[in-house]
Amino acid sequence: MKATADDAWFHYQVASKTWAPDMTYSYQGPLFNLEAFNVLNTPLPPGTYTVYFGVYRIMNGSLNMDQADYDTVEVNVE
C-alpha cells in the first residue's frame, strides 16, 4: 500500500504495521488476508491525499507499476 501527499511518498510496512517514507514495496510473498486497520490515527494538514493498493504479478524486488494490478482512493482533508 502506498500513499502520496504534496509530492512525498510513503509505504505501509506489513511486518511492522507502520508507515515509512519512500516508495517501495510493502511486502513480498504469497497473497494473504489483510486484516482491517486504520490507515492513519493522527490529524492531517488540509490537502488532497491519494492512497494506492496494489498487487504485483511478478515479485522481482522492484516497483514496476506496469506489472501491477492496483486501485486508488483520493481523500480530501479540509
**pLDDT value at position 4?**
62
Q: How confident is the model at residue 17 (pLDDT cuts 50, 70, 90)?
A: confident
55, 69 Cβ separation under 8 angstroms: yes
Counting every residue, how long is the chain?
Answer: 78
Question: What are 52-68's pLDDT values in tens digits?
Answer: 888 877 777 777 777 78
> Of the candidates 48, 58, 57, which has an alpha carbon nearest to the alpha carbon of residue 3?
48
Report angle CA 75, 71, 3 to the nearest 5 degrees.
Answer: 50
On whether the CB atoms of residues 39 and 77 are closer than 8 A, the answer is no
Burial class of residue 2 in the structure, from the number of CB atoms within 10 Å of its CB (0-12 exposed, 13-18 middle, 19+ buried): buried
- Residue 52 in contact with residue 70, Cβ under 8 Å? yes
